[in-house]
């Protein structure tokens, strides 16, 4: 007799849980639809501010970037998405050698968008863009070179006497 009561009780509890789950379904059935008509509304589509679409390296009007080729972003990338190749150049004026960025390769296909590279970059040389359409026919097209041809590192502007007094 106790097993029959327990069996019926389990059935009633299961039905109650089913009714609770269906309550959400019925509420959503009668709500106003907010479906985005994606291909047609590309002009009006705005991604939210913190969206991580694609890694980019901003260049200024003189084709200069902020990357110092330190390799911190490459070391912090958990799956090897970033590959930096650097070379050393000697400054003719001072005679000092310094590391200069040769190529900055980014594999969008294996990126997990964790943001570790952007957060740890000491010179804020890389950032996320709002681009989200990455459909291609071959994976090779997802390998991107972030530094432009002929680009060079931006020279740091020395602060004036007024700026150093403020800081």
Count CB neighbours of 36 within 10 A.
9
| Mean pLDDT, the chain, whole residue set | 87
pLDDT reported for residue 1: 78
41: pLDDT strictly greater than 90: no
pLDDT tens-digit series, residues 113-139? 999 999 999 999 999 998 888 889 999
When comparing pLDDT for 73 and 47, which is higher? 73
Comparing CA positions, the residue from 130, 124, 146 lying closest to residue 72 is 124
When comparing pLDDT for 36 and 144, which is higher? 144
pLDDT tens-digit series, residues 81-98? 999 999 998 888 888 888
Counting residues of the chain whose pLDDT is more than 90, the rounded percentage is 52
Q: Indicate the pLDDT class of residue 167, thresholds 50, 70 and 90.
A: very low
| Per-residue burial over 124-144, b = 16 or more CB atoms within 10 Å of its CB, e = otherwise | ebbebeeeeeeeeeeeeeeee
Report the run of H or E that residue 99 belongs to, with start and end: strand 97-107
pLDDT reported for residue 114: 94
């Amino acid at each position: 007799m106790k097993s029959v009561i327990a069996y019926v009780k389990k059935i009633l509890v299961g039905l109650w849980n089913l009714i609770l789950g269906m309550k959400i379904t019925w509420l959503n059935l009668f709500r106003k639809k907010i479906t985005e008509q994606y291909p047609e509304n590309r002009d009006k589509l705005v991604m939210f501010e913190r969206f991580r679409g694609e890694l980019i390296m901003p260049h200024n009007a003189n084709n200069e970037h902020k990357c110092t080729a330190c390799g911190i972003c490459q070391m912090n990338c958990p799956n090897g998405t970033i590959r930096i190749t650097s070379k050393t150049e000697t400054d003719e004026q001072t005679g000092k050698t310094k590391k200069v960025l040769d190529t900055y390769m980014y594999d969008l296909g294996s990126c997990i968008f964790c943001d570790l590279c952007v957060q740890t970059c000491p010179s804020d040389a890389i950032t996320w863009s709002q681009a989200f359409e990455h459909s291609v026919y071959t994976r090779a097209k997802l390998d991107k070179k972030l530094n432009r041809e002929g680009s060079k590192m931006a020279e740091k502007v020395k602060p004036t006497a007024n700026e150093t007094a403020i800081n």
